[in-house]
């Protein structure tokens, strides 16, 4: 690009940026009536809680969880003192359980090492476990008014469409480009208002499917609207393959006791509970299951009874879960490794993944 042309292009981009921020802030003060309990919140603890709950979660789905958590744990000190099992049970059904684990760890660091106070700088917030650039920017701007722009899925979408950016947002280059642009567009005199405005516009007007361009305050200068590329933006580098997994849960039962273990390791559903699991690379019926190596160690000759199947789609995994019951002798399996015998009446005290809760409820074990 020649120097003169380059200069003119930069000017155009700058003007588009000025229009963007001005229109967005006007829309926010005059037309944005999206109401959520954490809006206008200034307490870092509650902002943090809402942002962690809302990661990978729609606002409507996260709302009851936010209300339950703030009621059970009104301050970071209450959360730090929480019983892990109780907190996981409150989180039950929200998925991505690592968020809950990190939240408890961070609450304890803040209470134990930081006098119960959240750091007051962006960098200090970023240093905490489970707090990434987005959450740190949200707390820094909403609680302290610091000039830090948030960049989340809504922001990628609005900026990609308005400026016609086709750099994939999930690459190092894309992340840098969008973060730099977001920071340039920020209204430094009202960072909280600006951040709220762009996220609300993305959630209510510039939505992923069927955006309401006719109601959009940015339409007059929106590149994607002008060029008819709204549905093509933003661009993701590649689709991650979905992994199919086949879980076979055996409810090992003796009288009123059932064998339950706590999940550990780096896999999904960390810290949640489950019955005896046999995972296989394909679905198994009762006959195949009875011949499986893991089944052999249970000292049972009978075939299990098939109780039902449930599917759950996670971000990159499709879990097909089959449930079976199998009467066993507690005495024979007393020391079955990794778990405990739990009374059916005590199951409700434990946190389980959503699929297992659905099954236990359906079979009236809960």
Residue whose pair of structure tokens reads 């019926």 in the numeric block: 285
Is 318 in a helix, a strand, or coil? strand
Could you tell me which residues are beta bridge partners of residue 317? Answer: 243
Compare residues 164 and 168 and give the one whose CB is closer to ligand SF4.
164
Compare residues 69 and 169 and give the one whose CB is closer to ligand SF4.
169
CB of 151 to ligand SF4, least distance (A): 16
Is 265 in a helix, a strand, or coil? coil
Compare residues 98 and 219 and give the one whose CB is closer to ligand SF4.
219
Q: Among the options 11, 40, 43, 51, which is catalytic?
A: 51
Contacts 24+ apart (CB under 8 A), 311-315: 312/353, 312/354, 312/355, 314/95, 314/268, 315/56, 315/240
Q: Can you give the binding site for ligand SF4, defined by CB under 6 A?
A: 158, 161-162, 205-206, 211, 213, 216, 218-219, 222, 224-225, 230
CB of 253 to ligand SF4, least distance (A): 55
Question: Is 323 within 8 Å of 312 (Cβ atoms)?
Answer: no
Compare residues 31 and 262 and give the one whose CB is closer to ligand SF4.
31
Q: For residue 344, how many C-alpha atoms fall within 13 Å in the half-sphere facing its CB?
A: 13
Question: Is 49 within 8 Å of 78 (Cβ atoms)?
Answer: no
Give the tokens for residue 75: 């301050």
H or E element, residue 306 = strand 305-313
Q: For residue 78, how many C-alpha atoms fall within 13 Å in the half-sphere facing its CB?
A: 12
CB of 60 to ligand SF4, least distance (A): 20
CB of 206 to ligand SF4, least distance (A): 3
Cα–Cα distance, 80 to 109 (Å, whole number): 8
Dihedral Cα 122, 126, 132, 136, nearest 10 deg: -30
Compare residues 80 and 206 and give the one whose CB is closer to ligand SF4.
206
Compare residues 20 and 88 and give the one whose CB is closer to ligand SF4.
20
CB of 223 to ligand SF4, least distance (A): 8
CB of 150 to ligand SF4, least distance (A): 17
Q: Distance of alpha carbon 188 from its chain centroid, rounded?
A: 28
Burial of residue 345 (CB within 10 Å: 0-12, 13-18, 19+) is: exposed
Dihedral angle sign, alpha carbons of residues 185, 191, 194, 196: positive
Q: Is 11 a catalytic residue?
A: no
Catalytic annotation, residues: 51
């Amino acid at each position: 690009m020649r120097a003169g042309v380059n200069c003119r292009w930069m000017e155009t981009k700058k003007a588009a940026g000025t229009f963007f921020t001005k229109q967005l802030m006007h829309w926010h003060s005059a037309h944005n009536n999206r109401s959520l309990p954490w809006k206008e919140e200034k307490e870092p603890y509650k902002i943090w809680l809402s942002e962690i709950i809302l990661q990978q979660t729609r606002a409507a789905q996260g709302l009851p969880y936010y209300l339950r958590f703030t009621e059970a744990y009104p301050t970071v000190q209450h959360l730090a003192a929480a019983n892990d099992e109780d907190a996981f049970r409150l989180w039950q059904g929200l998925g991505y359980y690592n968020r809950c684990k990190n939240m408890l760890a961070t609450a304890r660091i803040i209470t134990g090492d930081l006098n119960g106070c959240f750091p007051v700088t962006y960098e200090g917030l970023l240093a905490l476990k489970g707090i990434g650039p987005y959450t740190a920017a949200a707390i820094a701007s909403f609680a302290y008014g610091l000039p830090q722009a948030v960049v989340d899925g809504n922001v990628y979408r609005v900026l990609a469409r308005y400026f016609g950016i086709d750099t994939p947002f999930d690459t190092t280059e894309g992340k840098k480009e969008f973060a730099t642009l977001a920071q340039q567009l920020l209204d430094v005199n009202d960072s909280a208002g600006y951040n709220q405005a762009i996220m609300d516009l993305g959630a209510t007007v510039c939505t992923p499917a069927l955006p309401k361009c006719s109601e959009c305050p940015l339409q007059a200068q929106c590149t994607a609207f002008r060029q008819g590329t709204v549905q093509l933006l933003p661009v993701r580098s590649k689709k991650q393959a979905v992994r199919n997994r086949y879980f076979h849960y055996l409810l090992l039962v003796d009288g009123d006791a059932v064998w339950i273990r706590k999940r550990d390791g780096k896999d999904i559903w960390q810290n949640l509970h489950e019955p005896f699991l046999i995972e296989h690379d394909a679905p198994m019926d009762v006959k195949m299951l009875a011949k499986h190596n893991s089944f052999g160690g249970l000292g049972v000759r009978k075939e299990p009874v098939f109780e039902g199947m449930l599917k759950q789609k996670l971000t990159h995994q499709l879990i097909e879960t089959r449930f079976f019951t199998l009467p066993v002798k507690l005495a024979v399996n007393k020391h079955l490794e990794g778990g405990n015998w739990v009374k059916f009446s005590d199951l409700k005290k434990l946190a389980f993944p959503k699929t297992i809760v659905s099954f236990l409820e359906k079979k009236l074990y809960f």
